[in-house]
């Protein structure tokens, strides 16, 4: 058989056809037609940490990773919008489901991770908890993660978190830290909790 002026055995075409058919299914929030192309600075962003997002108000929504339901993320995807998971990583709030996992000696009286704790302890005892927070974002279907309250964290902890996010296919924006592998520049907002 000839394809574009080349002789190709029929068996090769059958194999290629089968490989194409065996491609994994696309995630449910992918679209047949991509959203209109836009430069990042042309996207409309909205922080909606407390109130439900209004899908017509912006292109990209920054939402609380703990309180936002997966169904809200799905609704935004159906409206061809993006959802970014906001995580204040140093916050050890008592109303968060993982609050009891943080060792008392590694948190301060204000309910924040003590980034001045020994680096090895932070990596072995705190990083796994924070990685589970990233997993929460991934499992809810968020498109990316905006990580906050990392100022003062050891470089190795930030490296670990960015690496874990990338393994989960979550692009990362860092709000108060700098990292060479950060993917997003998330605009600040008056709705962002004080750091």
Q: What DSSP character marks residue 49?
A: S
Pairing of strands 2-3, 6-7: antiparallel
pTM of the predicted model as reported, rounded to 2 decimal places: 0.77
- Domain 32-174 architecture: Alpha-Beta Barrel (3.20)
Give yes or no for a contact between 46 and 58, defined as CB atoms under 8 angstroms apart.
Answer: yes
pLDDT digits (tens, 9 = 90+) for 18-28: 434 444 444 55
User: H-helix or E-strand containing 17?
Assistant: helix 10-21
Q: Which single residue is written with the structure tokens 């209109």? A: 36
DSSP 3-state of 72: helix
pLDDT tens per residue, range 166-182: 999 999 999 888 776 77
Q: Helix, strand, coil: what percent of the chain each, to 5? A: 35, 15, 50
pLDDT digits (tens, 9 = 90+) for 34-70: 444 555 668 899 998 888 888 888 999 999 999 999 9
Measured N-to-C along each axis, helices 127-140 and 155-167 cross at an angle, to the nearest 10 degrees, of: 30
* CA 10/CA 75 separation, integer angstroms: 45
Domain ranges of the chain: 32-174
């Amino acid at each position: 058989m000839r394809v574009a002026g080349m002789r190709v055995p029929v068996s090769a075409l059958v194999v290629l056809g089968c490989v194409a058919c065996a491609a994994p299914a696309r995630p449910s929030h992918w679209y047949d037609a991509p959203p209109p192309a836009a430069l990042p600075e042309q996207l409309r962003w909205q922080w909606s940490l407390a109130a439900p997002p209004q899908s017509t108000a912006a292109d990209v929504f920054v939402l609380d990773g703990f309180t936002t339901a997966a169904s809200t993320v799905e609704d935004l995807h159906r409206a061809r919008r993006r959802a970014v998971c906001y995580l204040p990583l140093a916050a050890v709030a008592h109303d968060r489901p993982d609050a009891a996992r943080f060792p008392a000696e590694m948190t301060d009286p204000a309910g924040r991770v003590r980034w001045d704790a020994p680096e090895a302890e932070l990596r072995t005892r705190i990083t796994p908890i924070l990685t589970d927070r990233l997993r929460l974002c991934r499992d809810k279907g968020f498109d990316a993660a905006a990580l906050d309250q990392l100022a003062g964290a050891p470089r190795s902890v930030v490296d670990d978190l960015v690496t874990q996010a990338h393994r989960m296919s979550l692009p990362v924006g860092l709000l108060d830290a700098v990292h060479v592998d950060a993917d997003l520049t998330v605009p600040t907002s008056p709705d962002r909790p004080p750091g």
